[in-house]
Amino acid sequence: MFRETTMRELNTSPVKMIAEDWALLTAGNLSAFNTMTVSWGGVGELWGKDVAFVFVRPQRYTYEFMENSEYFTLSFFGGEYKKELGICGAKSGRDVDKCKETGLIPMAAEQAVAFAQAKTVLVCRKVAFQDIDPKGFIDPSIMDTYAAKDYHRMYVGVIEKVLIAE
| Residues facing residue 73 across a β-bridge | 26, 123
Least Å distance, CB 38 to ligand FMN, is 4
CA dist 32 to 69, 79, 80, Å? 11, 27, 26
Of the candidate spans 9-17, 29-37, 43-51, 154-162, the one that interacts with ligand FMN by CB under 6 A turns out to be 29-37
Residue type, 62: T
Q: Does 40 bind ligand FMN (CB under 6 A)?
A: yes
Question: How far is residue 119's CA from residue 126's CA, in Å, rounded to a whole number?
Answer: 22
Q: Determine which residue in the list 33, 50, 62, 76 makes contact with ligand FMN, applying CB under 6 A.
A: 62
Residue whose CB is nearest to ligand FMN in the complex, by number: 89
Q: Does 93 bind ligand FMN (CB under 6 A)?
A: yes
Strand runs labelled E in the chain: 2-5, 23-29, 32-38, 41-46, 49-56, 71-76, 106-109, 112-115, 120-131, 153-165
Identify which of residues 29 and 39 has a Cβ nearer to ligand FMN in the complex: 39
Of the candidate spans 54-62, 100-108, 113-121, 140-148, the one that interacts with ligand FMN by CB under 6 A turns out to be 54-62
Identify which of residues 2 and 93 has a Cβ nearer to ligand FMN in the complex: 93
